[in-house]
């Protein structure tokens, strides 16, 4: 599927994986609508071809309005990449007691329900566009994690939310096939995003040492590169692709 002269939505688009993907899509000629929370939009890096939209992905009304903005840009809405997410950790039973239920619900609400909310509402607008010569209308890429498969101690909420994304992938692809919309998921390993910026170099080196090869952390631009490949590879559908350098997470 072509990227140039189309509209694209990237959630979590102001930083990390989302920022790298927004930039990559814009460089390929897409008009990118980068969704993120207001505070993140205020400090977004900017860029030609990228329009930042303050939106909470868990709020249906805000998403309807933001998706409508992208769909009304004058270019066909073809691409959605869901990168918005949070990753707090807590043990099910720890020194301070039982896992906070509100925190568990919030992680699932943002990571899983937020992704589904954008997927469903964007798919509705993508389905209204004219198909290309191959019957395609669009592609939606969600973000899981290797934690969906090998969640570590303290990752019960995060792993649950990302496992839900993996489980969503195939039925979503099947549901949307009749509209010419593909659905895939990327499951990254340890990526060098702003979330890791606060840890020490020693700790980062320890993380990299556990990666088989290449023995380093992944880069956000490598995620973006894979997203572009999925968009342009018309036969990729209903699949979760691990981007982890053969990493299999240990319990801790």
Residue 72 lies in a domain: yes
Task: Show the domain range for 222.
Answer: 7-242
Q: Is 238 exposed, middle or buried (0-12, 13-18, 19+ CB in 10 A)?
A: middle
| Cα angle 63, 143, 243; round to 5 | 160
Looking at residue 28, its pLDDT comes to 97
Tally of domains in the chain: 1
Residue 248 lies in a domain: no
Q: pTM for this structure?
A: 0.95
Separation of alpha carbons 159 and 140, rounded Å? 21
Backbone angles phi, psi at 182, to 5 degrees: -90, 155
Q: For the chain, which ranges sit under pLDDT 50? A: none
Looking at residue 201, its pLDDT comes to 77
Please, what sign has the CA dihedral across residues 191, 215, 184, 8?
positive
Residue 252 lies in a domain: no
Check residue 30 and give left, alpha or beta (phi > 0: left; psi -120 to 50: alpha): beta
Catalytic residue among 104, 158, 179, 223: 158
Looking at residue 55, its pLDDT comes to 97
Looking at residue 103, its pLDDT comes to 97
> pLDDT for 16-45, tens place per residue?
999 999 999 999 999 999 999 999 999 998
Looking at residue 45, its pLDDT comes to 87
Residue 59 lies in a domain: yes
Looking at residue 47, its pLDDT comes to 84
β-pairing, 97-98 vs 50-54, is unpaired
Contact yes or no for 79/8 (Cβ under 8 A): yes
Residue 121 lies in a domain: yes
Distance (Å) of CA 190 to CA 95, 145, 180: 27, 9, 32
CATH number, domain of 133, equals: 3.40.50.720
For the question of residue 158 being annotated catalytic, the response is yes
List, in sequence order, every residue forming a beta bridge with 182; answer none if it has no partner.
Answer: 139
């Amino acid at each position: 599927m072509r990227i140039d002269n189309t509209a694209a939505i990237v959630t979590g688009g102001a930083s990390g994986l989302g920022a790298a993907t927004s930039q990559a899509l814009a460089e390929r000629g897409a008009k990118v609508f980068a969704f993120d929370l207001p505070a993140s939009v205020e400090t977004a890096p900017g860029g030609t071809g990228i329009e930042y939209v303050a939106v909470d992905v868990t709020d249906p009304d805000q998403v309807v309005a933001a998706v409508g903005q992208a769909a009304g840009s004058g270019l066909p809405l073809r691409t959605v990449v869901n990168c918005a997410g949070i990753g707090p950790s807590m043990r099910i039973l720890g020194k301070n007691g039982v896992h906070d239920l509100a925190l568990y619900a919030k992680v699932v609400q943002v990571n899983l329900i937020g992704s589904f909310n954008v997927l469903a509402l964007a798919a509705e607008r993508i389905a209204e566009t004219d198909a290309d010569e191959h019957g395609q209308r669009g592609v939606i890429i969600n973000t899981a994690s290797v934690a969906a498969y090998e969640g570590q101690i303290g990752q019960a909420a995060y792993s649950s939310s990302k496992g839900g994304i993996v489980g969503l992938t195939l039925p979503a692809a099947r549901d949307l096939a009749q509209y010419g919309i593909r659905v895939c998921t990327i499951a990254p390993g340890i990526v060098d995003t702003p979330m890791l910026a606060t840890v020490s170099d020693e700790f980062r080196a320890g993380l990299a040492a556990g990666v088989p090869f290449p023995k380093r952390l992944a880069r956000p631009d490598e995620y973006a590169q894979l997203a572009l490949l999925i968009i342009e590879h018309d036969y990729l559908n209903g699949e979760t692709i691990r981007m982890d350098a053969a990493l299999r997470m240990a319990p801790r």
